[in-house]
Amino acid sequence: MTPQTTVPIRPPVAETIAQAGAALKSGFLVGLPTETVYGLAGDATSDRAVAAIFAAKGRPSFNPLIIHLADAAEAAAYAVVSPLAARLMAAFWPGPLTLVLPRRPAGGISLLASAGLDTVALRCPAHPVARAVIRAAGRPLAAPSANPSGKLSPTSARDVADSFPADALALVIDGGTAPVGVESTIVGLFAAGATMLRPGGLPRAAIEAIAGPLRAAGDDAQAPQSPGRLLSHYAPGLPVRLDAATVAPDEALLAFGPALEGAKATLNLSAAGDLAEAAANLFAMLRQLDGSGARAIAVMPVPGDGLGEAIRDRLARAAAPRGVG
């Protein structure tokens, strides 16, 4: 029998979902689509499966994982759900919002998945394939972005398959291109009120309409309270230069709006200046420019309102000094 040389990509049909559920029950990892980016899923109640996620990603063990649920009603089994948390779930779940809540010690979530913290990060994804796989597995799934730690998040099944050796995942389910394109917004509910831990696919204003003004996170980027808060994160191999007003002939350009001229290669997040289009294109275009043969990637300014806050956050982490975290 010829050894498998690449991670298999399967269509999102009932047979594949059943196969994925069986693999997850047996402790294997699966690449699955969500509306934000593709996730590297494993059984969140299994220390061995969670450890396999960390090993596959090369992820620091102090960086917690997001636990994905099929339905908001499941959250109370794993966390203390405050009235504010319940209101946010009712408004935005399923969807690109992760809530960091006090964990229930008897809930069964692996302590490794929460990096030993007394909180747990929960989300209910909007992608129907993701929820179908969670139901098929019959357990919550730890599912960080399906990329090596610190590298670009994947927005297609091919991105996932190309990022890991053949024996790292049982399969990847092809759910098409992730429509949101950046990870979920993470909000911490540690005491009265709410804290913005990571901007993402749900704009701040929508959350603040329910939760009131969000406090700024004050944790240590080297030992974060939530996923996605390492300083150097989402990084391509090439150096990234932000807020570029000019571009050199040996640089690749990630444009927004009318593009600068003279770059070795140019991709435009949104020629029309549409932030939703830019968010959906961000990681795929960074990935393409990373392979352009340029010396560095110059990024034109992106406004910080709405989804721009999440885009600027990812770009700042991509441009941070390497080796941090």
Per the annotation, binding residues for L-threonine are: 36, 68, 123, 143, 184
Measure the CA–CA gap between 278 and 219, rounded to whole angstroms.
29
DSSP-assigned letter for residue 217: P
Q: Is 257 left (phi over 0), alpha (psi -120 to 50) or beta?
A: left
Which residues define the annotated binding site for ATP? 59, 63, 119, 145, 153, 198, 234
Burial 270-294 (b: 16+ CB within 10 A, else e): beeeebebbbbbbbbbbbbbbebeb
Nearest alpha-carbon partner for 309 in 172, 163, 201, 155: 201
CB 55 within 8 Å of CB 49: no
Q: Which one-letter amino acid corresponds to residue 199?
A: P
CA dihedral 76, 128, 227, 229 (to 10 degrees): -130
Q: Give the max Cα distance, the chain.
A: 60
Which residues define the annotated binding site? 36, 59, 63, 68, 119, 123, 143, 145, 153, 184, 198, 234
Residues 6+ apart with CB under 8 A from 29: 23, 40, 41, 42, 49, 52, 53, 56, 168, 169, 170
Strand order in the sheet with 141-142: 9-10, 171-173, 30-32, 39-43, 141-142, 66-68, 119-123, 97-102, 185-188, 195-198, 215-216
